[in-house]
Amino acid sequence: MIFSKLLTISVILILLSLPALAAEYKGVIEHPYSGRLDDDERAQAYAEAKLKAIEAWVAKTQEYQTANFELIKGKIRSNIDDYLLNSVVISKKENKDDNLFRVVMRVSINEPKLLAEFTEAGRQQSPASNEDQYITFVFVARELASRIEAKDTSEGDFQRGENSWQATTTNEVDIAVGAVFSAANYYVIDAALLEEETEGQLDVTNFIMDYEQGDDLTPTTKRDAVRGLRGLLDPVQYLAIGTLDVDEHSTDSASGLYKVPVSVTAKILDVKRRGSAVASVGPVQYIGLGPTPIVAKNNALKLAAEKMAAGLIGQLSSKSI
């Protein structure tokens, strides 16, 4: 009995430590019909409600993908269930006086599949190219090491506030970002592997040192990295950079779990275009929950990394890049 209880508790803790695997949204429609409401019209109403749920997801979380969504909206409508993990009818009501069938559905959206479709749709709008699309990235997680508040000095001068950070790259971020970029059909190259190829011009340590002192790279670090990537025999087209700032944990009043906020700022530099920024995200905050502060932090980093990467890719594909 004791073992069974311990096993149950362990399973619950494991499940709580896992972020949501799909986005859940509701779709609400009023489907007009003539005569009698038959099975075909009911099925059509359900499909329309599912599409409405996807539209709500795009509008709320994938605004950069709106143009690509419109390009393939007909394809999605025709194969709606292929882009959903599940769907449930919450309510349905037939108004015989007005010949309207009202449906409310909740769906779980297969985000990776839809994002891959959006990216491909965007690419098909760009001129044909035989080049493989390579991307590398350096994203650092930061935790506040010290803070100097802004204040007026006794001499009457104004002293600006300053933060110093403890920064590092993390597996949670690297794996999550790499998965999103790969799903969008980019070839992802580990930045550390490019250090030697660029003869040290791209140096991950320099990125970390810069982000410990401020919110952007120094001109030297950025210039050297772009120059090194551009000079490769097989050049890397894009360099993604940014920070994920971890705040202090607290207790979530609703669930009793620990929660950790993470604020994200990121951008993608086009190596061929002198390192110009072609996509940017943030600052935007995400919350991770977990049974311990460490689990909550890791969940927050993973969620923030996935959403950040999806936003960046959405902007690239909307520009047919």
Span 245-294, pLDDT tens digits: 999 899 988 889 999 999 999 999 999 998 999 999 989 999 999 999 99
* Total count of domains within the chain: 2
- As averages over each run of 10 residues, the pLDDT of the chain (321 residues) reads 39 38 83 86 92 92 83 92 93 88 93 83 65 88 70 51 77 91 88 93 94 90 94 91 92 91 95 91 92 93 91 79 62
Query: Is residue 147 domain-resident?
Result: yes
Domain final residue pick, 119, 147, 164:
119
Query: Is residue 1 domain-resident?
Result: no
Residue 112 pLDDT: 80
Give the orientation angle of helix 293-318 with respect to helix 171-183, to 10 degrees: 30
Here the CATH number for the domain that contains residue 314 is 3.40.50
Q: Are 180 and 304 within one domain?
A: yes
Structural domain for 101, as ranges: 20-119
Distance between CA atoms of residues 262 and 283, nearest Å:
10
Domain final residue pick, 96, 119, 142:
119
Query: Is residue 7 domain-resident?
Result: no
Furthest-apart CA atoms within the chain: distance in Å: 84
Place of tokens 């998965």: 179
Domain final residue pick, 68, 101, 119:
119
Provide the residue count of the chain: 321
Distances in Å between the Cα of 292 and the Cα atoms of 49, 158, 201 are: 38, 41, 39
Tell which phi-psi region holds residue 3, choosing left (phi > 0), alpha (psi between -120 and 50) or beta.
alpha
Residue 117 pLDDT: 85
Here the CATH number for the domain that contains residue 73 is 3.10.129.140
Name the β-bridge partners of 253. none
Distance between CA atoms of residues 36 and 307, nearest Å:
45
On the 0-12 / 13-18 / 19+ scale of CB atoms within 10 A, 315 is buried
Q: What is the pLDDT of residues 97-112, one digit of tens each?
A: 888 999 999 999 998 8
Residue 128 pLDDT: 52
Q: Are 28 and 138 within one domain?
A: no
